[in-house]
Amino acid sequence: MRITVCWKWVAVDGADPDDRWAGVSPADEAALETALTLAGNGGEVTVVTVGATGSDAGLRRATAVGATHVIRVDGEGLGARDVARAIAPIARGSDYVLCGDYSLDRGTGAVPAYLAAELGAAQALGLVGVDRTRVPLRVVRRLDGGRREILDVPTPAVLSVEGAVARLRRAGLAETLSASTATIEVVAGPRPAEHDVVVTPYRPRARMLPPPSGGTLARVRDILDIGAAPAHGDAVTLDPPEAAQRIIDQLREWRYLPRDTA
Amino acid sequence: MIAVIPVRDGVLPAGADEAIAECDGRAVVAGSETAAVELTGIAREALLVELGDVAFGRWAAALCAGVAELGTADVILCPHSPDGRDLAPRLAFTLDRPLYAGATRVTPAVVQLARAGGRELHEVHPAGAFVATLQPGVRGVESFGEPPAVRTIDASDVEPVAADATVVDVLPPDARTMDLAEARRIVGGGAGLDAPVRFEMLAAFAAEIDATIGATRVITDRSWVHHDKQIGTTGVVVDPELYLAFGISGAVQHTAGLGSPDHIVSVNTDPHCPMMAMADLAIVSDANATLDELLRRLGGLVERPGG
Amino acid sequence: MADVDVVVVGAGPAGSTAATVLARAGHSVILLERGPFPGSKNMYGGVVYPRILDQLHPEWWEDAPIQRWVTRRSTMVLTDDQALTVDFRSEKWGRPPYNGATAFRPDWDSWLASKAQAAGATLVCSTTATGLLRERGRVVGVTTDRPEGDLRADVVIACDGVNSFLAKDAGLYGEVDAANYTVGVKETLGLPKEVIDERFAVRGREGVDIEILGGTGGVNGGAFLYTNFDTLAVGCVLKLPALAAQELRPEAIIAGLKRHPAIAPLVEGGDVAEYSAHVIPEAGLAMMPKMTGDGILVAGDAAAMCLAAGIWLEGVNFAMASGIYAGEAAAEALAAGDPSAAGLAGYERRLEDTFVLRDHRKLRRAPGLVLSDRVQHLYPEMIANTVERMFRVDNPAPKPGLRAIFNSERKRAGIKLADLARDARDGLRSFG
Ligand SMILES: Cc1cc2nc3c(=O)[nH]c(=O)nc-3n(C[C@H](O)[C@H](O)[C@H](O)COP(=O)(O)OP(=O)(O)OC[C@H]3O[C@@H](n4cnc5c(N)ncnc54)[C@H](O)[C@@H]3O)c2cc1C
Ligand SMILES: Cc1cc2nc3c(=O)[nH]c(=O)nc-3n(C[C@H](O)[C@H](O)[C@H](O)COP(=O)(O)OP(=O)(O)OC[C@H]3O[C@@H](n4cnc5c(N)ncnc54)[C@H](O)[C@@H]3O)c2cc1C
Ligand SMILES: Nc1ncnc2c1ncn2[C@@H]1O[C@H](COP(=O)(O)O)[C@@H](O)[C@H]1O
């Protein structure tokens, strides 16, 4: 079995853009672990990263835990389409391509779907469970509204997994040592397209609200963005036991708890 | 601009109403049992495309080939829900258009995107036609009043063009595994809670009232709970009906992501902090001890984790 | 057969200098670090005194990742509503070879470790040494938390920081007493550089180091305030038993310090960017372990070499120095083919001959003195009141004499003349 794993190496949220503060997301780690178990003995797992020199550190780690090949496509600041395009030639021919559901910088999650389109493969994205024992592979995907979907996935397919799906094994000491000096295969990648992007700090957009059904007070409240919260009393000071009882009583009154609890 | 809304079994995905509103009421509603979708007030004109079970490869091919509107629309907008997020790149790929995923505002000329985990807003000026996805919860909606004008296309017999996964089953929601963004009841914990184990207790309490847990950044920064559970501008934007805040001060970055719960309970030692001012029931008390007591009362069943 | 000549455990200031020296001497060295990168888990107040690097890395200041050069050093005595400051500044400290600098540990430690790597040492991160490998009573390597993680070496250098597990495992420590530890807590506050420059009267890369006696909410200890490039470090060092007895949380003590009228205007408006806490071995000489065993050396905080004597809080320089000496001694022993305790004896000799142990000897009474109840609770009051009365203009009353004020304040504070004399003598011996 041949599996390609996509790892995105990113500087940690809010930190300096410095290799020290970088890594891959738990989802990407879960993708590699899933790949290693799926491939089993004799399988081939290739880990590919589209990134700058710093991402070699991630690929070394992938080597140490047991990836058969690692490749870095040299490139920075690429959009999801270009990333997928750069990965596709490497991933072509794989039974599965495994991605994280999100990278450490929480991009847009578009790379895996693009990859599936590029490869003409099936896609099953945002997985919360992978049953490795079944053929075809059976997976559980997260839907909205708290629902889950169970899918049977043919090959070839692109899968993206959430971080909780698996925990990446620890590399042995000898493997870590030899990976630390291994040379990483690098191939040239596309140059980023020029974009004019204006970057500002995040400001939430003013939300449109249905006209208030109540009177002036409700309207004022809406304008002040205290939402639908009804007027409230002053804070009450209570001992913890009283406080707990008060919360339970209130939840019961609001009908979040059945009337007959505790 | 036209919204493309993937539906399954007649159920609209999260953020469908907002995506349609952003396109001024024009929608292509595509998927299974599209006839059953309730669109009154949400859309002005809708094209229902019956596509059968979810299969993104086939769906994208059928939509791009069979719906002329997609070829001519300057903007195709999907909600950034799981299905929308997975369909949009397929559409963009097939139509060979750029994709702007995770937008907070979309017009043909200007797109604003939440980036860097929601800390930054990127504004781009697309040069031509494009596909985008809109973050649910960012814009709100007004009702269009009347039921929409509806046309129907049946494309359920379109040949599969790509391998697609097969749906075996769809499982109903389970409050404990529910995505925070969609949770109707949330129990949040902040720096007033004194140990990681408190969040296990919080989860036990949440389970008793069918709620999901959330936390402030102070807590996720400490890795006491996963970043997924961070409520706020740089975390998850939620809109529950019930919010219980334990030891949370109510900083704007937190409350800006809180939506407008019908009911808020706050337990805090400081009666004057913003979270207390927002609360319907504001209790000045030690949140840790209160949590102990709550578990004692509710969960004759629940063992207190960590003794 | 050993896998490498030397395993150095801990890529802190001690470990990285030891590894550099050994790698330069041509030995194979593995430097183990439990964090994802050197310095990731390390915190300290914020000032380093790097002159010890002059030989190891000549002109280290060219690429050392510093925040600001300390050109102004103040010592403050605080009571609830008074502050007495002795303020010194020197332009000399702002140019090579410099004196002290503020720096972030993740930057500093990574930089030092990169020097070790450049010298040929192999750095292995995210790897914790979990114990010692022994053969016939001799240390022959370490076990790690990685699968098949045993690592055999002729010499192990334990630089694993305060509470060194390895030094204890090697039986080099006697009984450990909680009274020998203080806990350091620190907040990093974000402020624009210009605001810091203005508030602290500095320019460019100049910075300030303020050491504070008092202001710790009645808990015996000391406090500090340092300027980084665009952040401030404010924190305190608190005696563990005293802290436990007071039932005060360290955060509350920092909050109190930040509210003090002499401190508040300096830190006002700073966003807390980070909060951290760490244990400091404080008793110096009194708690140092045996430095050498068969096949093992202990350096830096692992050997309790941090100098925490009131207005002195130096550990990084002691760690770097002891690391260098440990590296030299190990190289000597390897060259002689004798990594036993006897073969490694050059280490202790070097420590005795240099500031490392000399400063500790000289200042051995200082921690006890500075953290004593008199110095902590009575003297600040007495001194501040004395100065307040000296500068107060109480017309029509004439100015009183200094000695009269001092004596009346001493009596009011309940300080016996004999105690004062003894403390003064101890102080002179230590600091004089
Ligand atoms: C750019 C930016 C983005 C941010 N994004 C987010 C975000 O997305 N989400 C987010 O949450 N934060 C965010 N923050 C951080 C935010 O500003 C606040 O720092 C954070 O929300 C505060 O969390 P807290 O309420 O847990 O802690 P604190 O503000 O420290 O409050 C703790 C509260 O607990 C109370 N308390 C203490 N002890 C007890 C006790 N024993 N019992 C009961 N109550 C007690 C205190 O009175 C206080 O009100 C962001 C900040 C920045 C600068
Ligand atoms: C609050 C506070 C303020 C201070 N202020 C100052 C100051 O302003 N100036 C100053 O000079 N000093 C200061 N110090 C002291 C200084 O931080 C220490 O003396 C110095 O860091 C000691 O260096 P070291 O290399 O011995 O140990 P550390 O810096 O503690 O390094 C030990 C390293 O070993 C690693 N490690 C530990 N165990 C293992 C293991 N089992 N396996 C693998 N790796 C391991 C750790 O992750 C760490 O990287 C302060 C200390 C504190 C707590
Ligand atoms: N530059 C990249 N190199 C390799 N894989 C990537 C890259 N960008 C994204 N991916 C993959 O796509 C997933 C989703 O990424 P994102 O859209 O950034 O959240 C990641 O978890 C990776 O598996």
**Per-residue b or e along C2-36, where b marks 16 or more CB atoms closer than 10 Å to that residue's CB:** ebbbbbbbbbbbbbbbbbbbbbbbebbbbbbbbbe
Which pTM does this prediction carry?
Answer: 0.80
Owner of token pair 């200094």 = C402
Q: Closest Cα of chain A to B112: distance in Å?
A: 9
CA distance C379 to C412: 11
Whether B116 has a pLDDT exceeding 90, the answer reads no
Task: Kindly state the average pLDDT of the residues B211-229.
Answer: 84
Residue A204, judged by CB atoms within 10 A of its CB (0-12, 13-18, 19+), counts as middle
Q: Are B227 and B233 in contact (CB under 8 A)?
A: no
| pLDDT for A167 | 86
Q: Which DSSP letter does residue C171 get?
A: T
Q: Provide mean pLDDT across the span C111-132.
A: 96
Is B101's CB within 8 Å of A108's CB? yes
d(CA C225, CA C210): 5
C97 at interface of A, judged by CB pairs closer than 8 A = no
Interface check A177 vs C, CB under 8 A:
yes
Q: Which of residues 208-247 of A touch B (CB under 8 A)?
A: 208-210, 226-230, 232-247
Give the whole-angstrom CA distance, residue C140 versus residue C135.
Answer: 6
d(CA A181, CA A59): 12
What ligand is nearest to the CA atom of residue A240? 1
DSSP-assigned letter for residue A154: -
Distance CA C176, CA A39 (A): 51
Give CA–CA dist C281/C79, Å, rounded. 27
Least reliable range by pLDDT among A202-211, C165-174, C350-359, C388-397: A202-211
> Is the pLDDT reported for residue C133 higher than 70?
yes
Sequence-ordered list of residues with C-beta below 8 angstroms from that of A227, at least 6 positions apart, any chain: A221, B259, B260, B261
Residue at A239: amino acid letter:
D
What pLDDT score was predicted for residue B227? 74
Over residues C188-198, mean pLDDT: 95
> Which pLDDT score, from 0 to 100, does residue A227 have?
40
Helices marked H in C25-153 — which ranges? 105-119
Residue-level pLDDT at B187 = 96
pLDDT value of position C244 = 78
Is the Cβ of C274 closer than 8 Å to some Cβ of chain A? no
**At A221, is the pLDDT very low, low, confident or very high (cuts 50, 70, 90)?**
low
Query: CA separation (Å) from B44 to A41, B17, B18?
Result: 57, 11, 13
pLDDT of A233 over the 60 cut = no
CA end-to-end distance (rounded Å), chain A: 56
Ligand 1, closest atom to CA B257? 8
pLDDT at A215 over 60: no
Residue that is written with structure tokens 């997994």 in the block? A161
Q: Where are the alpha helices (DSSP H) in C58-128?
A: 105-119
What is the spatial distance between Cα B56 and Cα B160, in angstroms, rounded to a whole number?
10
pLDDT the model gives residue B302: 41
Buried b (16+ CB within 10 A) or exposed e, B156-165: eebeeebbbb
Contact B216, B210 (CB under 8 A): no
- Residue reference for tokens 């963009």: B92
Beta partners for B76? B2, B131
Q: Of the bound ligands, which one is closest to the alpha carbon of residue A125? A: 3
List pLDDT tens digits, range C101-110.
999 999 999 9
Cβ(A202)–Cβ(B233) below 8 Å: yes
Cβ of B165 within 8 Å of Cβ of A124? The answer is yes
Shortest distance, CA C241 to any CA of chain A (angstroms): 30
Nearest CB to A173: which of C40, C123, C148?
C148
Q: Given CB atoms, is A171 within the 8 Å cutoff of chain C?
A: yes
Evaluate whether C291 touches C156 at the Cβ level (below 8 Å).
no
Mean pLDDT for the stretch of residues B20-42: 95
**Torsion region of B117: left, alpha or beta (phi above 0 gives left; psi -120 to 50 gives alpha):** left
Question: Which partners does chain A have (≥3 C-beta pairs < 8 Å)?
Answer: B, C
3-state SS, residue C149: coil
Atom 41 in ligand 2: which residue has the minimum CA distance?
C129
From A20, A172, A180, residue closest to C146, measured CB to CB = A172
A198 exposed, middle or buried (CB, 10 Å; 0-12, 13-18, 19+)?
exposed
- For strand B212-215 and strand B185-189, is the pairing parallel, antiparallel, or unpaired? parallel
State the smallest CA–CA distance between residue C187 and chain A in angstroms.
Answer: 17
Residue pair C52/C147 in contact (Cβ under 8 Å)? The answer is: no
What percent of chain B is predicted at pLDDT more than 90? 58
- In this predicted structure, the answer to whether residue A225 has a pLDDT above a threshold of 50 is no
Q: What is the mean pLDDT of residues C121-145?
A: 95
Task: Kindly indicate the confidence band of residue B163, based on its pLDDT and cuts at 50, 70 and 90.
Answer: confident
Measured CA to CA, the distance from residue B70 to residue A238 in angstroms comes to 60
Angstrom distance (rounded) from CA C93 to CA C69: 7
Q: Per-residue pLDDT for C389 more than 60? A: yes
For C50-186, where are the alpha helices, taking DSSP H only? 105-119, 165-169
CB B253 within 8 A of CB B231: no
Neighbours of C340 (CB within 10 A): 13
Task: Give, as one character, the DSSP assignment of residue A163.
Answer: G
Please work out, in degrees rounded to the nearest 5, the angle formed at the alpha carbon of residue C256 by the alpha carbons of C252 and C260.
Answer: 170
What is the rounded CA–CA span in Å between residue C180 and residue C367?
A: 10
Closest CA to C157 of C12, C349, C354, C313: C12
Question: For A181, which residue in chain C has the nearest alpha carbon?
Answer: C122
- Mean pLDDT for B112-132 is 86
* A66 ligand 3 Cβ < 6 A: no
C-alpha A187/C-alpha C218 separation (Å) is 63
Q: Give first-to-last CA distance, chain B, whole Å.
A: 58
**Summary mean pLDDT of chain C:** 91
Looking at this protein, which amino acid is placed at residue C47? V
In this prediction, residue A216 carries a pLDDT of 58
**Using the beta-carbon criterion (under 8 Å), do B179 and A241 form an inter-chain contact?**
no
The enclosing H or E element of A27 equals helix A26-39
Enumerate residues lining ligand 1, CB below 6 A.
B 119, 190-192, 216-219, 230-235, 247-249, 251, 253-254, 257, 267-270, 273, 286-288
C81: which 2 tokens?
């509503």
Q: Which of B275, B269, B307 is nearest to B192 (CA)?
A: B269
What are the beta bridge partners of residue C234? Answer: C187, C225
Which of the four pLDDT bands, split at 50, 70 and 90, describes residue B301? very low
DSSP state for residue C197 in the 8-state scheme: H
What sections of chain B are H helices per DSSP? 16-22, 56-66, 68-72, 82-95, 197-208, 217-221, 252-255, 274-278, 287-298
In terms of Cα–Cα distance, which of B168, B183, B8 is closest to B82?
B8
| C-alpha distance from C149 to closest chain A C-alpha (Å) | 5
Residue A214 has pLDDT above 90, yes or no: no
The string of pLDDT tens digits covering residues B36-57 is 999 999 999 999 999 988 899 9
The residue whose CB lies within 8 Å of the most ligand 1 atoms, and thus the one to mutate among B234, B244, B255, B275, is: B234
Q: Which residues of A are less than 8 Å from C148 in CB distance?
A: 172-174
So what's the pLDDT on residue A164? Answer: 75
What is the rounded radius of gyration, in angstroms, for the C-alpha atoms of chain C? 23
Q: What is the C-alpha to C-alpha distance for residues C176 and C162, in angstroms, rounded to an integer?
A: 12
Extract the tokens encoding A37: 């178990």
DSSP for residue C376? I
Rounded to an integer, what distance in angstroms lies between the CA atom of residue B194 and that of residue C72? 39
Over residues A117-148, the pLDDT tens digits come to 999 999 999 898 999 888 889 999 988 766 78
Write down the pLDDT at residue C377: 85
What does the block give as tokens for B208? 């008793």
| Ligand with smallest separation from the Cα of B254 | 1
The helix (H) or strand (E) run that includes residue C76 is strand C68-78
Per-residue pLDDT tens digits for C280-290: 877 778 889 99
Amino acid identity of residue B179, one-letter, is D
* Average pLDDT of span C267-275: 86
Poorest-confidence range of B107-111, C264-268, C294-298, C376-380? C376-380
Residue B178: closest CA among B222, B135, B245, B229: B229
Half-sphere exposure at residue B97, Cβ-oriented, CA atoms within 13 angstroms = 25
At A8, the pLDDT band (50, 70, 90 cuts) reads very high
**What is the 8-class DSSP label of residue C377?**
I
Q: What is the arithmetic mean of pLDDT over B262-268?
A: 94
> What is the predicted pLDDT for the residue at C257?
94
CA B245 to centroid of ligand 1, rounded, Å:
11
CB-based contacts of B105, cutoff 8 Å, min separation 6: A205, B22, B111, B112, B138, B139
- Look at A104 and A97; give whichever has higher pLDDT: A97
Nearest to A10 by CA among B115, C276, C110: B115
Residue-wise pLDDT for C12-42, tens only, equals: 999 999 999 999 999 999 999 999 899 987 7
Nearest to B264 by CA among C223, A229, C150, C119: A229
Average per-residue pLDDT in chain A? 86
Collapse the DSSP code of A57 into the 3-class scheme (helix H, G, I; strand E, B; otherwise coil) and give the result: helix
Encode pLDDT of A137-190 as tens digits: 999 998 876 678 999 999 999 999 988 788 899 999 999 999 998 999 999 999
Q: ipTM for the complex? A: 0.77
**CA C347, C352, C356 angle in degrees (round to 5)?**
90
C368 class by beta-carbon count within 10 Å (0-12 exposed, 13-18 middle, 19+ buried)? middle
Burial of C205 (0-12, 13-18, 19+ CB in 10 A): middle
Structural element, H or E, at residue C6:
strand C4-9
pLDDT at residue number B14: 83
